[in-house]
Amino acid sequence: MNFRHSRKGHRAVTAAALTTGLVLTMAGCGGGGGDDPKDSGGSSSSEPAKGGDGEKDSPSPSAGTDQIVAEVRGENGITLTVTSAVRDPGGFLTLSGKVTNGSGKFWVAANWRGDERELSPNGASMAGASVVDSAGKKKYLVLRDTQGRCLCTKFEGGGVDGGQSADWYAQFPAPPKSTTKVDFQVGAMPPASLEISDGQ
């Protein structure tokens, strides 16, 4: 009798354990279903991460959408791109863009600083750049302070590594408002004809 009762008791415990296991399994599934939104949220948060990678790529498109005002190619695989030529209300003309070294070796920008002795402290820079207003028959040099330091980019390390690009800017006195087109030149690069836009 005791054996039967213990057997019945064992069956009852087993049944209870199975029932509890099923309940927990169902709860686990339900929890999994509840986790599904988190998982889908996780996947959607991994999607933004992918989107984040896309956003990393989006600067390229946005950089690609930067209007190229002018582009010239020089010797040794150097490409100079002008992406902005803005006449500021304060009477300045600010140019900016990129210089790309398409060669496999380091490019030294020393000859871009200009030949004037007072510009030599600027090192490798855009100090020797100029803007020519052909219509007004005037040439504008990069603005500089009283110590000869240019209002322009100074290239870190003296130039640009092979296969790399560097941003640059240079500021000039602005031509008259009647002048909308100028030629920009630096170093031995060919002149780049560009159109001026008015800033706000």
Mark whether 90 and 76 lie in a shared domain: yes
Domain span at 193: 68-198
Q: How far apart are CA 89 and CA 177, in angstroms?
A: 11
Mark whether 86 and 127 lie in a shared domain: yes
Q: How far apart are CA 84 and CA 168, in angstroms?
A: 11
Mark whether 117 and 193 lie in a shared domain: yes
Structure confidence at residue 66 as a pLDDT band (50, 70, 90): low
**How do residues 5-25 score in pLDDT, each as one tens digit?**
444 444 544 444 444 443 444
Q: How far is CA 94 from CA 6, 20, 63, 148, in A?
A: 95, 76, 19, 18
Domain-ending residue, one of 62, 83, 98: 62
Mark whether 89 and 164 lie in a shared domain: yes
Mark whether 172 and 141 lie in a shared domain: yes
Mark whether 170 and 75 lie in a shared domain: yes
Structural domains in the chain (count): 2
Most confident of 22-36, 80-94, 108-122: 80-94
Rg of the chain over Cα atoms, rounded to whole angstroms, equals 34
Mark whether 76 and 121 lie in a shared domain: yes
Q: How far apart are CA 20 and CA 31, in angstroms?
A: 16
pTM of the model: 0.65
Across the range 25-38, mean pLDDT stands at 44
Across the range 188-192, mean pLDDT stands at 94
Mark whether 36 and 99 lie in a shared domain: no
Domain-ending residue, one of 38, 62, 86: 62
| Residues above pLDDT 70, as percent of the chain | 66
Q: Which residue has the tokens 């590594």?
A: 161
pLDDT at residue 156 above 60? yes
Domain-ending residue, one of 40, 62, 84: 62
**How do residues 92-106 score in pLDDT, each as one tens digit?**
999 999 999 999 899
Q: How far apart are CA 52 and CA 157, in angstroms?
A: 32
As a residue count, the chain comes to: 200
What DSSP line would sit under 87-129, residue for residue?
E-TTSEEEEEEEEEE-SSS-EE-GGGS-S-GGGGGG-SBSTT-
Mark whether 56 and 108 lie in a shared domain: no
Closest CA to 150 of 195, 106, 109: 109
Structure confidence at residue 51 as a pLDDT band (50, 70, 90): very low
CATH classification of the domain holding 101: 2.60.40
